[in-house]
Amino acid sequence: MADTEKECDNDNNNNLDEEQQQEEHNSQTTTDDDCNNINNREEYNTLPPDLLKISQDIDQYIFNLWGSRDVVDSKPPDVPICVEQFAVLLEETIDDSDRRSGKWSLMKDDEAAASSFLQSAERLSKLSKSLSHFSSEYKYAFSISRVGGVLQRAMAHLEEEFKSCLEDYKALQVCREGDEPETGTKGEVVSENNEESVLLNLKKLAKAMKFGAYEAECWHAYFASRQAAVEESLHRLGFERRSAEEVQKMGWDCLEREIVAWLRTFKYCSAELLTAEKKLSAAIFEDYPSMSDSIVNDLSRFTLAHLLDFSNAVAAVTKSTPDKLYKFLDMYEALRDLLPTMAALLRPEFMEHLKAEAMLTRCRLGEMAIGIIQELESTINSDPTKNPVPGGGVHPVTRTIVSAVERACCYKDTLEQVFLEHQRIVQRAAATPPEETGAEPLSPFGQQIARVMELLNANLEAKSKHYKDPSLSLIFMMNNGRYVMQKVRGSEGMNAVLTSGWVRKNSAELRQYHKNYQRETWGRLLQCLATEGLTTGSNGKVNKPVLKERFKSFNSVFDDIVKAQSSWVMSDEQLQSELRVSICNMVVPAYRSFLARFSQTFTPGRQTEKYVKYQGEDLEKFIDELFDGSAAAAGKKK
């Protein structure tokens, strides 16, 4: 029994010795393999392999890897030494490129090296993807990590080159958008060639980064560069990003300049800038349209957001005054007309959001425009009726109101849209149907303008009553009425807004002022030339004392008229001429007829000169000098 146990112990000891020896052998084998690998790497470091040969070996290895995936229970091939050689060679290329001065993408002498590097980076990406399918294999762990690290460096290097090329393109773009180069046609051709070269490199780099799973980094690098380029373009157009607080603190002169810059920028963005950005992005990311669309959408959204922020600030914090109306309407029209042109640049969901935001701003600007035009009524009502204009000329309030209306009617279509939208909102709120109107109805905007003009006319009527001379009141109404009608007839917008019916009505009123003036002033003079009571008896003998009194009355009344009305004003030269002609036609023939019939009654000489003070041509001369604003000496022959 004891001998048997002793034999067992000896067998166990022998087994242990064999296992220990096997482990030592295995350890020695592993060490020898590692040494061989190290020796191989050292041999590679001292004897650089041929890149073309290594590339072919890598391609074959990738092919073998993919082939082994399709064979059930197949054992993937071992990692060949060419993998390490390829990784080391790319590292050296990156290190060498990092040490260079200048920008690789624009150095034409290195085009072949650049092309080779891009091909190697693409091959490295394929190798990394192929190895990743065997990540569960322990023997691939080192190679996966090694290749992934080099790939990370290669992609980081490409990213820097991509950013550098973007800066180059931005510099060329600024040069192109600026003044014409002094170098002339040759310089322009060189610039175009440089731009084409940069665009080609950007396209190649983007493709390599996308293939190397560096899409996000590529996207952000491109977006950051073009965002900065767009901001520089906006700055060159004079537009600066402003907060609502900054806008609120601005004086109107400063803000008006900002609005002009905003309008110029908004038009440029819709017509050229963002479209050019879409074209550029589509060219660089030609093979990745979804990536291009994403970039353009976000770039457009970023740009338009800043532009809308400014318009919102203007609509929200700026007080409404008449001098601001036209800039508000310019902004309204830009938001209405230009925003839809950008639909092709933006995703539908964001476009709808943008339209809603722009509509809100438009409504605010529209309400401000309505308020400004309605405020014209307050301007008229607040103007004092006392202290009428000397000489019966055009009143300042007439010029102010008509000028404001004329400029507003230049925006006829826009304001009709604004007032119509406002009317619909009011009617919906009040649940009332629109009013039925007759032929040639005025639009809501036209109704507002008609109210302003009627209120102005009533205000002028009240002012005219402060003249002591009724004839001067009529001259005042003629002057102001004629001024209004001339402006309406000369303005296509005013004529269209107020309609022909309004024009006919006010033209009739103006003619009535003219008739009333003639009757009030010159009808009184013609009464002095009446023949009733001048003859007595059946033989028609002239009653000389009565005739003398008639001539004396005529001379006195005419002298008074000339004395007063020479200092009166007729602002419109055509009306002045028409009025003088109508007065002459009314007075001179009647006087000449009276003179021819009765002047022989007087004894020639001093008696005739005493009573017959004027001849027909004398009346014409004095009448022709009426309404020139000068205080001509009345009753004195020239």
Work out the pLDDT band at 342, boundaries 50, 70, 90. Answer: confident
What integer pLDDT is reported at residue 276 of this predicted model?
A: 93
In this structure, is residue 352 part of a structural domain? no
**Cα dihedral value 377, 378, 379, 385, nearest 10:** 100
Least confident of 4-18, 402-416, 459-473, 564-578: 4-18
| 540 vs 533, residue with greater confidence | 533
Closest by CA position to 169, among listed 87, 225, 231: 225
Using DSSP's 3-state secondary structure scheme, residue 208 falls into helix
3-state secondary structure 327-387: HHHHHHHHHHHCHHHHHHHCCHHHHHHHHHHHHHHHHHHHHHHHHHHHHHHHHHHCCCCCC
CA distance linking residue 499 with residue 360, whole number of Å: 32
What integer pLDDT is reported at residue 12 of this predicted model?
A: 45
> Are 195 and 264 spatial neighbours (Cβ–Cβ below 8 Å)?
no
In this structure, is residue 505 part of a structural domain? no
Using DSSP's 3-state secondary structure scheme, residue 467 falls into coil
What integer pLDDT is reported at residue 28 of this predicted model?
A: 42
> Are 567 and 633 spatial neighbours (Cβ–Cβ below 8 Å)?
no
* DSSP character string of 155-199: HHHHHHHHHHHHHHHHHHHHHHHSSPPTT-HHHHHHHHHHHHHHH
Name 541's bridge partners. Answer: 536
CA distance linking residue 13 with residue 10, whole number of Å: 5
What integer pLDDT is reported at residue 216 of this predicted model?
A: 94
| 57 vs 426, residue with greater confidence | 57
Q: How far is CA 378 from CA 328, 402, 566, in A?
A: 20, 14, 35
Closest by CA position to 84, among listed 43, 129, 134: 43
At residue 473, does pLDDT exceed 60?
yes
Query: Which residues are within 8 A (CB) of 16 and not within 5 positions of it... i.e. 6 or more apart?
Result: none
CA distance linking residue 431 with residue 422, whole number of Å: 14
Domain tally, the chain: 1
Q: How far is CA 532 from CA 51, 587, 617, in A?
A: 131, 18, 26
What integer pLDDT is reported at residue 553 of this predicted model?
A: 92
What integer pLDDT is reported at residue 478 of this predicted model?
A: 94
Q: What is the mean pLDDT of residues 604-633?
A: 79
> Are 120 and 136 spatial neighbours (Cβ–Cβ below 8 Å)?
no
What integer pLDDT is reported at residue 36 of this predicted model?
A: 39
What integer pLDDT is reported at residue 191 of this predicted model?
A: 64
Query: Which residues are within 8 A (CB) of 445 and not within 5 positions of it... i.e. 6 or more apart?
Result: 412, 415, 416, 418, 419, 420, 497
Query: Which residues are within 8 A (CB) of 254 and not within 5 positions of it... i.e. 6 or more apart?
Result: none
- Determine which helix (DSSP H) or strand (DSSP E) holds 542, and give its type and residue range: strand 541-542
Q: Give the percent of the chain with pLDDT over 70.
A: 82
What integer pLDDT is reported at residue 340 of this predicted model?
A: 85
Using the Cα atoms of residue 618, residue 620, residue 623 and residue 624 in order, give the sign of their dihedral: negative
What integer pLDDT is reported at residue 47 of this predicted model?
A: 46
What integer pLDDT is reported at residue 430 of this predicted model?
A: 63
At residue 30, does pLDDT exceed 60?
no
What integer pLDDT is reported at residue 605 of this predicted model?
A: 66
In this structure, is residue 246 part of a structural domain? no
pLDDT digits (tens, 9 = 90+) for 428-455: 666 555 554 444 567 899 999 999 999 9
- Tally the C-alpha atoms within 13 A of residue 222's C-alpha that lie toward its C-beta: 31
CA distance linking residue 274 with residue 294, whole number of Å: 13
Q: Which two tokens stand for residue 112?
A: 């072949």
- Looking at beta carbons, which pairs linking 33-39 to residues 24 or more positions away fall under 8 Å? 37/81
Share the mean pLDDT of the chain: 82
> Are 395 and 389 spatial neighbours (Cβ–Cβ below 8 Å)?
yes
Closest by CA position to 469, among listed 561, 368, 600: 561
> Are 375 and 320 spatial neighbours (Cβ–Cβ below 8 Å)?
yes
Work out the pLDDT band at 74, boundaries 50, 70, 90. Answer: low
In this structure, is residue 90 part of a structural domain? yes
In this structure, is residue 297 part of a structural domain? no
- Looking at beta carbons, which pairs linking 41-48 to residues 24 or more positions away fall under 8 Å? 41/84, 41/88, 44/81, 44/84, 44/85, 44/88, 45/88, 48/89
> What type of residue is 75?
K
What integer pLDDT is reported at residue 202 of this predicted model?
A: 93
Domain of residue 59: give its range.
Answer: 49-67+76-100+110-175+195-213
Angle in degrees, CA 231, 233, 236, rounded to 5: 110
Q: What is the mean pLDDT of residues 179-208?
A: 70
Least confident of 26-40, 80-94, 480-494, 581-595: 26-40
Greatest mean pLDDT range, 100-109, 415-424, 531-540, 625-634: 415-424
In this structure, is residue 200 part of a structural domain? yes
Work out the pLDDT band at 403, boundaries 50, 70, 90. Answer: very high
Q: What is the mean pLDDT of residues 219-223?
A: 96
What integer pLDDT is reported at residue 501 of this predicted model?
A: 86
What integer pLDDT is reported at residue 2 of this predicted model?
A: 42
Using DSSP's 3-state secondary structure scheme, residue 323 falls into helix
At residue 15, does pLDDT exceed 60?
no
Helices (H), 396-491: 396-409, 412-430, 444-464, 470-490
Least confident of 349-358, 603-612, 620-629: 603-612
In this structure, is residue 199 part of a structural domain? yes
What integer pLDDT is reported at residue 308 of this predicted model?
A: 92
Work out the pLDDT band at 370, boundaries 50, 70, 90. Answer: very high
Work out the pLDDT band at 136, boundaries 50, 70, 90. Answer: confident
What integer pLDDT is reported at residue 176 of this predicted model?
A: 76
| 498 vs 321, residue with greater confidence | 498
In this structure, is residue 57 part of a structural domain? yes
pTM above 0.85, yes or no: no
What integer pLDDT is reported at residue 316 of this predicted model?
A: 83
Least confident of 97-106, 114-123, 293-302: 97-106
What integer pLDDT is reported at residue 32 of this predicted model?
A: 40
pLDDT digits (tens, 9 = 90+) for 567-606: 899 888 899 999 999 999 999 999 999 888 887 777 676 7
Work out the pLDDT band at 635, boundaries 50, 70, 90. Answer: very low
